[in-house]
Amino acid sequence: MAIFCGAQGNKFLFTNDNKLLTSWWPQSMKKALLFPEFVESNLKDVSALKRSFHHDILKPEALKQYIHLMDGLARDHLDKDWKPNTIVKVLPLSKKYTFELACKLFLNVVTQHDIKRLSDPFTLVTNGMFSVPIDFPGTAYNRAIKGGKLVREELMRIITERRKEMTERSETEGRDLLSKMLLVRDENGQFLSEMEISNNIIGLLVASFETTSSAVTAVINYLAELPHVYNEVLKEQMEIAKSKGPDELLTWEDIEKMKYSWNVARESLRLTPPAQGAFRETTTEFNYAGFTIPKGWKNPKYFPEPEKFDPSRFEGSGPAPYTFVPFGGGPRMCPGKEYARLEVLVFMHNVVTRFKLEKAIPNEKIVFYASPIPVHGLPVHLHPHQK
């Protein structure tokens, strides 16, 4: 295995995707996530959907209509799971919010009972998918295999029911992501199978769950840790809140005003990147720097005082090309980057306009599994703003 990092490594990878390299998942990961029939397949065959489809449904124009849903869900989540408490653990709650949002937007699954039927086994998958791949009773990997089977069964039930419902109603427009997938035809004019759609939904859930909840947690961590940064974010978000009626939901125009808040989120992504990298495999033999690994991404050449949290790095034209790549680049640029931006900003808005934050464990350690996570789940004291 060769690990590429640094601006030059990033540039080489992203400009040669689909030329010298192609996306790849380890066998152990595919075994936990996919139907047995697809474990030996390459990722292109697994998805069955053109990448352009994901870009089309996750581009800003398509996502604008969902901002009110994101905001409404964030309000409900904070009212139910944050407001009644004086101290909360951010990581498990951000995971809960992130998964509920994905279920609502991707599948139109809204009841707590139905969400739990997906979230409980899905948690087993994400907790064990990157563990030592020993499929033996009692191991995390064995639980991931079992969880993956339950997730696939539940998705197949949802997909089959939706297809039947759409056929009976002669629906020709998709109301959510699943409906849109059910209307897609392949190059032979055939609709995608339930298994192919399930594979795509699982891919989107994996991409939107672990990394986004890690990103939300990291942002809250810095807001609780750095009062001067929190105060600037609060000032920006309160101006937006004051311009709206009491029950008026956020709009695209409001999101576009959150410039400092997004710089804070990007600096958080730089210092605590939720994804440490992605897997590729070579499609042809090539040489690169004699397998020398370039100096790491915190190189002071690109980021002066690299350990310092400084949102102003992203003002103007921002960092040099290929030095800041939380969403990848080139043909494999993450299609969900705008979805993640909206989710993080909507959540930030709702948290800071309600609470001042204080870390319960000031020097809580961060550990790295699939994503960086605080060892105690980031407990924070909540101090509601005086009305």
pTM of the shown model: 0.87
Per-residue confidence at 297, pLDDT binned at 50, 70, 90?
very low
pLDDT at residue number 327: 74
Top pLDDT among 92 and 282 is at 92
Top pLDDT among 11 and 362 is at 362
C-alpha 380/C-alpha 187 separation (Å) is: 52
pLDDT over 70, % of the chain: 90
Top pLDDT among 136 and 29 is at 136
C-alpha 27/C-alpha 39 separation (Å) is: 7
Residue appearing with tokens 């939904």: 201
pLDDT at residue number 25: 74
Does 293 score more than 60 pLDDT?
A: no
pLDDT at residue number 4: 76
pLDDT at residue number 387: 67
183 DSSP assignment: T
Homologous superfamily in CATH for domain 27-33+49-276+331-384: Cytochrome P450 (1.10.630.10)
Nearest to 301 by CA among 4, 6, 5, 3: 6
C-alpha 89/C-alpha 216 separation (Å) is: 12
> What's the pLDDT tens digit per position in 230-280?
999 999 999 999 999 888 999 999 999 999 999 999 999 988 888 776 777
Instruction: Give Cβ neighbours of residue 236 (< 8 Å, ≥ 6 apart).
Output: 257, 258, 259, 260, 261
Rounded mean pLDDT of 295-304?
A: 62
Map out the domains of the chain as residue ranges: 27-33+49-276+331-384
pLDDT at residue number 216: 95
> Which of 64-73, 107-116, 281-290 is the least confident region?
281-290
> What's the pLDDT tens digit per position in 24-46?
777 888 888 888 887 777 666 66
